[in-house]
Amino acid sequence: EAWLGKTDLRLNQVHEGDYARLAEAIQRCRSTGEKFNCHYRLYDSNGNTRWYHDEAEAVCDESGMPLFIRGAMLDITDKKELEAELSQHRYRLEQHVESRTGQLMRRISLLESCNAALGDKLAFARMELNALKRQSARSDQATRSTPTAQSGDCIEQLDGISDWARNMIGWRMAAAGTIA
């Protein structure tokens, strides 16, 4: 009822951020007769902001002069609040995905680095194992040709093989079932 007696009441209650856009849409509707479809905020009687969807058209007389604007307003505040909440959740999710992606990329880089280092160590262990096999073959030939030579643990007989290589060779031999 308050709005019926005051044609400009709605414009007086429009949120500052939406005023220019709504006033322009209403003026365009009055001057051209084109329909307008607009979302904007209004202050209610308690000063709270509410969102509205407004669709209207100019009603003209027989000569085409606009008499008034007729339309319907629908309160869409709940919808706008849900959209804002969804936007906040989407933003937080994107931030979380970005953070987790960074963590995963750092872990992948670390794993690739470890893989390369282990590959180098494995190559070195293979070289040492081949050297051990050659040494063992020479030792076996010497044992067969000279019965006085003692056949002991081949790993302990080798000089110049690192402790790590000895452990690796021992582990590999155990895994292969060649030593108990």
Cβ-based neighbour number of residue 155 at 10 Å: 17
Residue 178, CA distances (Å) to 30, 135, 146, 163, 171 in order: 98, 17, 25, 19, 10
Residue type at 92? R
Q: Which residues pair with 14 in a beta bridge?
A: 42
* Residues facing 56 on adjacent strands: 36, 71
pLDDT in tens, 33-84: 789 899 999 998 888 999 999 999 888 888 888 888 888 999 999 999 999 9
What pLDDT is attached to residue 30?
A: 81
Question: What 3-state class would DSSP assign to 43?
Answer: strand
Q: What is the distance between the alpha carbons of residues 108 and 114, in angstroms, rounded to a whole number?
A: 10
The pTM of this model reads 0.53
In contact, 63 and 103? CB cutoff 8 Å: no
The stretches in the chain having pLDDT less than 70 are 1-10, 143-180
pLDDT reported for residue 136: 85
Checking phi first, is residue 101 left (phi over 0); if not, alpha (psi -120 to 50) or beta?
alpha
The answer to whether 43 and 9 have CB atoms below 8 angstroms apart is: no
